């Protein structure tokens, strides 16, 4: 994979046997994901220890370090305990994640036009000198700096220079200035002047996409079945302070007639995941109320109408 591509989300067990998900790491900040071929080998030890020794520097830029190799959980646990690593080591024992990132060696790996592959091609004569051992190592040594939206910001590739992985990743993060538009705020932050209704622009289409408002998240703390009716509450005591074209205001208007979650997504042409998250936040803030899905005691005509509305909403997505 190369800079600018989206990193695939994945779940692997760490050296403690705990399942860890990339998106969960990214919810706390950028991730520096470094692949190493073989736990406890000399170069891999130097690479991993250098990441350990730069703990405070990576913390200063808000980045998390995560190591990954095709070693088993037990081998990763021994490696982590032996070297007192303060970050997780993931076990990609079947090599699936390594292959997704384009760093897996062997006849089963896909040939990818990635930074690592091109770098290896440029240095073909050096690869020959390394001999059979280097070619038999299960993965290539590579480091990926991944932003919170899973965009790969930088790739570092070097088989023999162990320290450059942490050094270059850290230097990049120290110099990287994430672009943050002044018109975009985190999901459901306290309203600012940007969200107040402006008569001159109130009827213009909103330029803020739903996934910007949700920060890319699609889960919700509120249980929201697709067929659950959503009712708009009286907001006189706590009027919303968004522009009328804000998607949250559109959801409130849509919920006057108590539609289901699926219907809201269909009527407003919103992704279902983003709809559930936004509705859940509006419920938490007291603007909406979610009713339990209708019980089996409903009249047959009422159930048919509910099923028809839900199916219509799902087909329209």
Give me the pLDDT at residue 241, please.
67
Residues assigned a catalytic role? 44
Q: Are residues 159 and 244 in the same domain?
A: no
Do residues 283 and 229 make contact, with C-beta atoms less than 8 angstroms apart?
Answer: no
The secondary element (H helix, E strand) that includes residue 83 is: helix 73-83
Q: Are residues 21 and 167 in the same domain?
A: yes
Q: Are residues 12 and 110 in the same domain?
A: yes
Give me the pLDDT at residue 294, please.
61
In a domain, 272, yes or no: yes
Q: Are residues 13 and 153 in the same domain?
A: yes
In a domain, 70, yes or no: yes
Give me the pLDDT at residue 141, please.
93
Q: Are residues 168 and 268 in the same domain?
A: no
Number of domains comprising the chain: 2
How many whole angstroms separate alpha carbon 66 and alpha carbon 75? 16
Q: Are residues 244 and 167 in the same domain?
A: no
In a domain, 94, yes or no: yes
CA-based nearest residue to 184, from 164, 210, 204, 147 = 210
In a domain, 23, yes or no: yes
Q: Are residues 238 and 164 in the same domain?
A: no
Residue 118 CB neighbours (<10 A): 13
Q: Are residues 146 and 278 in the same domain?
A: no
Give me the pLDDT at residue 184, please.
36
Give me the pLDDT at residue 81, please.
94
Q: Are residues 15 and 106 in the same domain?
A: yes
How many whole angstroms separate alpha carbon 202 and alpha carbon 103? 49
In a domain, 180, yes or no: no
Q: Are residues 142 and 257 in the same domain?
A: no
CATH number at residue 44: 3.40.30.10
Give me the pLDDT at residue 56, please.
93
In a domain, 275, yes or no: yes
Give me the pLDDT at residue 306, please.
66
Residue 256 CB neighbours (<10 A): 9
**The two three-digit tokens of residue 9, written as one number:** 């989300």
Give me the pLDDT at residue 11, please.
95
In a domain, 248, yes or no: yes
In a domain, 212, yes or no: no
Range of the domain at 10: 5-115+135-175
The tens place of each residue's pLDDT in the chain, 317 residues long, gives 788 889 999 999 999 999 999 999 999 999 999 999 999 999 999 999 999 999 999 999 999 999 999 999 999 999 999 999 999 999 999 999 999 999 987 644 444 334 445 555 555 544 444 444 445 678 899 999 999 999 999 999 988 888 999 999 999 999 886 544 333 334 334 333 333 334 333 344 444 445 455 555 545 567 777 777 888 887 666 677 666 567 888 888 888 888 888 888 878 777 777 788 888 888 888 888 888 766 545 666 766 776 676 666 666 55
Do residues 264 and 275 make contact, with C-beta atoms less than 8 angstroms apart?
Answer: yes
Query: Rounded to 5 degrees, what angle do the CA atoms 4, 35, 175 make?
Result: 50
How many whole angstroms separate alpha carbon 80 and alpha carbon 150? 26
Q: Are residues 149 and 55 in the same domain?
A: yes
Q: Are residues 151 and 247 in the same domain?
A: no
């Amino acid at each position: 994979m190369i800079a600018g591509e989206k990193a695939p989300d994945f779940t692997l067990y760490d050296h403690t046997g705990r399942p860890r998900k990339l998106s969960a790491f990214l919810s706390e900040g950028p991730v520096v994901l470094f692949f190493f071929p073989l736990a406890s080998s000399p170069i891999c030890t130097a690479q991993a220890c250098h990441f350990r020794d730069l703990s405070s520097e990576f913390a200063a830029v808000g980045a998390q370090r995560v190591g990954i190799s095709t070693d088993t959980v037990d081998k990763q646990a021994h490696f982590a305990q032996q070297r007192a690593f303060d970050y997780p080591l993931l076990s990609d024992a079947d090599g699936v994640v390594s292959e997704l990132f384009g760093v897996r060696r062997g006849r089963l790996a896909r040939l990818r036009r990635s930074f690592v592959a091109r770098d290896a091609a440029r240095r073909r004569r050096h690869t020959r000198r390394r001999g059979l051992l280097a070619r038999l190592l299960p993965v290539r040594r590579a480091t990926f700096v991944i932003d919170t939206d899973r965009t790969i910001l930088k790739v570092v590739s070097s088989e023999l220079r162990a320290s450059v992985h942490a050094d270059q990743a850290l230097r990049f993060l120290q110099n990287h200035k994430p672009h943050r538009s002044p018109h975009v705020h985190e999901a459901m932050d306290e309203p600012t002047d940007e969200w107040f209704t402006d008569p001159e622009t109130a009827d213009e289409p909103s330029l803020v996409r739903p996934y910007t408002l949700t920060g890319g998240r699609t889960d919700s703390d509120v249980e929201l079945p697709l067929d659950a009716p959503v009712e708009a509450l009286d907001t006189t005591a706590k009027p919303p302070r968004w522009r009328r074209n804000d998607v949250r205001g559109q959801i409130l208007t849509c919920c006057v007639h108590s539609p289901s979650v699926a219907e809201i997504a269909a009527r407003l042409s919103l992704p279902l995941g983003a709809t559930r998250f936004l509705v859940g936040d509006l419920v938490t803030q007291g603007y909406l109320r979610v009713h339990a899905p209708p019980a089996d005691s409903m009249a047959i005509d009422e159930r048919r109408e509910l099923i028809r509305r839900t199916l219509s909403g799902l087909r329209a997505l």
